[in-house]
Amino acid sequence: AQSVTQLDSQVPVFEEAPVELRCNYSSSVSVYLFWYVQYPNQGLQLLLKYLSGSTLVKGINGFEAEFNKSQTSFHLRKPSVHISDTAEYFCAVKEAAGNKLTFGGGTRVLVKP
């Protein structure tokens, strides 16, 4: 069975500083990888996804993530955060042949002025 670990439950960061959110997964088969963002009191929306091809994936709002197969990681980065990036971020994995997502526990990002 696949599993997803987000190593940091909370990440405080100052405005305009860079941020990296870590995600590691375990699976014995090929996977697709996703990052979702949840703003306060809202549902989840897709930031970016890795299906195949280039291991560096660019998403919305200036976020990017890098897939590292050997380390089974899919870390999310943004070079300069804004106050509006305050949210909870979820990493998720889906087996390529499956139809279900498995989510990590989430990382809460608090951007301080």
The answer to whether the CB of 69 falls within 8 A of the CB of 108 is: no
Which residue, 17 or 51, has its beta carbon nearer to other proteins? Answer: 51
**Shortest Cβ 113–other proteins spacing (Å):** 26
The answer to whether the CB of 19 falls within 8 A of the CB of 35 is: no
> Is residue 32 helix, strand or coil?
strand
**Shortest Cβ 44–other proteins spacing (Å):** 4
Which residue, 9 or 71, has its beta carbon nearer to other proteins? Answer: 9
What residues line the site for other proteins (CB under 8 A)?
4, 6, 9, 32, 34, 36, 41-46, 49, 51-52, 90, 94, 98-101, 103-106
Residue 16 carries which DSSP code?
Answer: T
The answer to whether the CB of 38 falls within 8 A of the CB of 88 is: yes
Which residue, 79 or 100, has its beta carbon nearer to other proteins? Answer: 100
